[in-house]
A and B are shown apart, each in its own frame.
Chain A
Amino acid sequence: DAKTTQPNSMESNEEEPVHLPCNHSTISGTDYIHWYRQLPSQGPEYVIHGLTSNVNNRMASLAIAEDRKSSTLILHRATLRDAAVYYCILRERINTGTASKLTFGTGTRLQVTL
């Protein structure tokens, strides 16, 4: 399984931007970079994904390094509701078909304080 490395935890003040890093040095050309988050006592929630180019959506931005060996999830203004475990995942193709799977790591626990 393709691996990602993330810091165990990070802290942020409310209303400030947060940059969550992820290393994925063994990424292959067809692996998509996905970010999910899991709020306490809930199922994981999709945040954003990308392949090569930087991506923006209403929740966050994803900055992907040119060599694709690392990426950064950017929350532009953290709120208390953003406190969660953030997972950086490489969505890998299975065998030679179109199927793919998410392999979750340990994620980064984000704490947001007033």
Chain B
Amino acid sequence: DTAVSQTPKYLVTQMGNDKSIKCEQNLGHDTMYWYKQDSKKFLKIMFSYNNKELIINETVPNRFSPKSPDKAHLNLHINSLELGDSAVYFCASSLGQGGYNEQFFGPGTRLTVL
């Protein structure tokens, strides 16, 4: 069974559209994250939720809105997609928020905005 899964794996869409990426973890973790990896391979945290509460919100355009319906799910909705949003988006989870806890990453969603 996949520990952290994301859907879809690939997403190709036009500028201006609204899209969502879903993430689910079956590890029993209480903390989930979204990361963005751009074309230069820089991996940067965007958001983190702990027990459905937003705890990290980096400098991300408000077109990006995370939603955590329960501890096992963290979805990412993106409004009015722009060319610069093209990237690979990774979801991750961990048990607890502390620095001693490893994060488990999903396989990524490659978003291409045309």
Q: In A7-64, which residues have CB < 8 Å from any B CB?
A: 30-32, 34, 36, 38, 42-46, 49, 51
Q: How many Å lie between the Cα of A59 and that of B23 in the bound state?
A: 27
Of A38, A93, A104, A106, the residue contacting B99 (CB under 8 A) is: A93
Q: Note all chain A residues with C-beta closer than 8 A to B50.
A: 99
State whether the Cβ of B83 lies closer than 8 Å to any Cβ in chain A: no
Q: Which of B41, B42, B99, B103 has the most chain A CB atoms closer than 10 A to its own CB?
A: B99
Find chain B residues with CB under 8 A from A113 CB: none
Inter-chain contacts of A34 with B (CB < 8 A): 99, 102
Question: Closest chain B residue to A38 by CB distance?
Answer: B43
Q: Are A43 and B99 in contact (CB under 8 A)?
A: no
The A-B contact count (CB < 8 A) is 64
Count of chain B residues with a beta carbon within 8 Å of a chain A beta carbon: 25
Of B42, B55, B103, B106, which one neighbours A94 at CB under 8 angstroms? Answer: B55
Across the A-B interface, give the 8 residue pairs with the lowest CB-CB distance, nearest first.
A43-B105, A32-B99, A46-B102, A91-B99, A104-B43, A99-B97, A100-B99, A99-B55
9 inter-chain pairs at a CB distance below 8 angstroms, sorted by A residue, are A32-B99, A43-B106, A44-B43, A44-B90, A44-B105, A94-B55, A97-B97, A100-B99, A104-B44
* B107 in complex: contacting residue of A36, A43, A97, CB < 8 Å: A43
- Contact partners of A87 in chain B: CB under 8 A: 43
